[in-house]
A and B are shown apart, each in its own frame.
Chain A
């Protein structure tokens, strides 16, 4: 049995195909989320990647901010539930998941059995999210991934004290104008995201193992800064950005009985 999960985010669309609730047989990631052609392209790509037709997926679930706009799925699930399921699929002992997406951040605490026992979302604010990194990368004329990699080479860390993206943008420009080292500024930007996210994560309670998911998880600079801010080792998977879609596929598989009844 093949279950299909799609995560329609604010900036990207992700899909996962899962066989018998155990084996990932296809994944896709397309830039373009809610209100774009991204979801449709992501669906097309995941079935091409798996070499199966859409008819072969017997059950599906949609998650992410764009979930209510996608009418083709059997189930609609919140992204927190899906990220928790996806994280637990990859890291079976997982107890804390930190998700940093394009427009928000979430922290989820799981009990020993994997049940969600607490969760928090940040306020609707660009600070501490992928959007913050996008803005800063644009100023520094690097890609978001380069920003993270270069930040790791910094000898010093600049201090970005503003919590607001708009003010932080001015602060970064001022620092660059004052001759601050670019990598130090990049490290400061990663620290800023990490500090804000760590505050959120500490409020749900940090219990190891801890993993990071979402698009920002791919940023090595933020991962390093967050490990330092939390004082724990962060688990990371190449599929971290797909945890929402993966969780949706797991959810769909588990609920497949309900659909067939």
Chain B
């Protein structure tokens, strides 16, 4: 397959998650929804179930407001909206982690708003990188596995989990390679780059790894051309009109610190005698994310370092409205960029933004100032 054919395939999957879900259900597989930001997909995968990302969608919020107040993260609201409207019908369960206050509300609301799809909580500790934290995480994973057995009839085993961890580690490695390779391939648009990441939530990791490896090979055959290099940061950066603006204004995302993109693939599970310990170690080692407690806010420095390494001219923080963890981090990120003399802009987005006029103005101004 050529690069364009591969990118078209990624787009088809990213743009049609419902079709993917129907396909897996038609194959007799059971689908388990995984809510943002980090869910133990490896456990779901190891039980022969298909993990399917549930990050909401760009739709008008109507019924979710029966449960949520107005000023809360639109990603959470849209997940509940899709659940209430039946878009996720057919899923055997949903795993919702406790990584922010809005996610906790989503879990509690889900039980009543979407009773047909069992809610499985994954409660993470704030202090994750010590023995108590790891024990707590492991207990949480055991509960997820037990709840999945109850909801789906599938059976959990440490041996199967060890195999799934290998599958996920391999996928992580390929995604990291792809991230690096895409930085020198501006002919891949920002919208296409987003499709590569987004599609990973809607395919089994085996399938996505194969496609990503093919894209890596295809990329090596294409020449590079110049655009203004930027690094994006935030929870989500997949709004079509925003990506279209990046592309139209001549920006190239050469790296990201986006929760739904590269943050997912930074950390591998290490080898351990017990697979659940390996998974708990993975969570303990994860860092540089607004929903993972870090008093030193090292994420800000990582963003600057990444931007410098990739030759980015600016950092664009795509802030999901009412996302408290990201709002807290925005200040240290801005300060770190300013200290490094790296232009920084903040764009507020939500799932219901049909008009990104203000975002476009900010991006145009950034481009003008970088080109001046």
Given A104-B358, A123-B348, A124-B358, is A116 in contact with B369 using a C-beta cutoff of 8 Å? Answer: yes
Given A121-B362, A123-B348, is A81 in contact with B369 using a C-beta cutoff of 8 Å? Answer: yes
User: CA–CA, A123 to B368, complex, Å?
Assistant: 21
Q: List the A side residues contacting B369 at CB < 8 Å.
A: 81, 115-117, 119
Q: List the A side residues contacting B348 at CB < 8 Å.
A: 123
Q: List the B side residues contacting A104 at CB < 8 Å.
A: 358
| Chain A stretch 102-129: residues in CB contact (< 8 A) with chain B | 104, 115-117, 119, 121, 123-124
User: CA–CA, A115 to B368, complex, Å?
Assistant: 10
Q: B244 at interface (Cβ–Cβ under 8 A)?
A: no
The smallest C-beta distance from B41 to any residue of chain A, in angstroms, reads: 35
Q: B357 at interface (Cβ–Cβ under 8 A)?
A: yes
Query: Once the chains bind, are B358 and A78 in contact (CB under 8 Å)?
Result: no
Query: Once the chains bind, are B365 and A116 in contact (CB under 8 Å)?
Result: yes
Q: A79 at interface (Cβ–Cβ under 8 A)?
A: yes
> Which residue of A has the minimal Cβ distance to B353?
A124
User: CA–CA, A123 to B362, complex, Å?
Assistant: 12
Q: List the B side residues contacting A65 at CB < 8 Å.
A: 357, 361
Q: B364 at interface (Cβ–Cβ under 8 A)?
A: yes
> Which residue of B has the minimal Cβ distance to A251?
B368
Q: A222 at interface (Cβ–Cβ under 8 A)?
A: no
Query: Once the chains bind, are A78 and B365 in contact (CB under 8 Å)?
Result: yes
- The size bracket of the interface on B is 10 to 19
| Chain B stretch 337-372: residues in CB contact (< 8 A) with chain A | 348, 357-358, 361-362, 364-365, 368-369, 372
The smallest C-beta distance from A143 to any residue of chain B, in angstroms, reads: 28
Q: List the A side residues contacting B365 at CB < 8 Å.
A: 78, 80-81, 116, 119
The smallest C-beta distance from B136 to any residue of chain A, in angstroms, reads: 38
Q: List the B side residues contacting A115 at CB < 8 Å.
A: 369, 372
Q: List the B side residues contacting A117 at CB < 8 Å.
A: 369
The smallest C-beta distance from A33 to any residue of chain B, in angstroms, reads: 13
Query: Once the chains bind, are B361 and A121 in contact (CB under 8 Å)?
Result: yes
Query: Once the chains bind, are A121 and B358 in contact (CB under 8 Å)?
Result: yes
Query: Once the chains bind, are A116 and B372 in contact (CB under 8 Å)?
Result: yes
The smallest C-beta distance from B315 to any residue of chain A, in angstroms, reads: 13
User: CA–CA, A148 to B372, complex, Å?
Assistant: 37
Q: List the B side residues contacting A81 at CB < 8 Å.
A: 364-365, 368-369
User: CA–CA, A121 to B364, complex, Å?
Assistant: 13
| Chain B stretch 267-318: residues in CB contact (< 8 A) with chain A | none
User: CA–CA, A115 to B369, complex, Å?
Assistant: 7
Q: List the B side residues contacting A30 at CB < 8 Å.
A: none
Interface centre among A65, A77, A78, A81 (most CB of B within 10 A): A78
Interface centre among A80, A117, A123 (most CB of B within 10 A): A80
User: CA–CA, A98 to B358, complex, Å?
Assistant: 17
| Chain A stretch 54-91: residues in CB contact (< 8 A) with chain B | 65, 77-81
User: CA–CA, A78 to B363, complex, Å?
Assistant: 9
Q: List the B side residues contacting A121 at CB < 8 Å.
A: 358, 361-362
Q: List the B side residues contacting A124 at CB < 8 Å.
A: 358
Given A115-B369, A115-B372, A116-B369, is A78 in contact with B357 using a C-beta cutoff of 8 Å? Answer: no
Bitwise interface map of B from 49 to 78 toward A, beta carbon under 8 Å scored 1, else 0: 000000000000000000000000000000
Query: Once the chains bind, are A78 and B368 in contact (CB under 8 Å)?
Result: yes
Q: List the B side residues contacting A80 at CB < 8 Å.
A: 361-362, 365, 368
User: CA–CA, A121 to B357, complex, Å?
Assistant: 12
The smallest C-beta distance from B97 to any residue of chain A, in angstroms, reads: 29
> Which residue of A has the minimal Cβ distance to B321?
A123
User: CA–CA, A221 to B365, complex, Å?
Assistant: 30
Chain B residues engaging chain A, CB cutoff 8 angstroms: 348, 357-358, 361-362, 364-365, 368-369, 372
- For the complex of A and B, the 6 pairs showing the least CB-CB separation, nearest first, are A78-B364, A80-B365, A78-B365, A81-B368, A116-B369, A78-B361
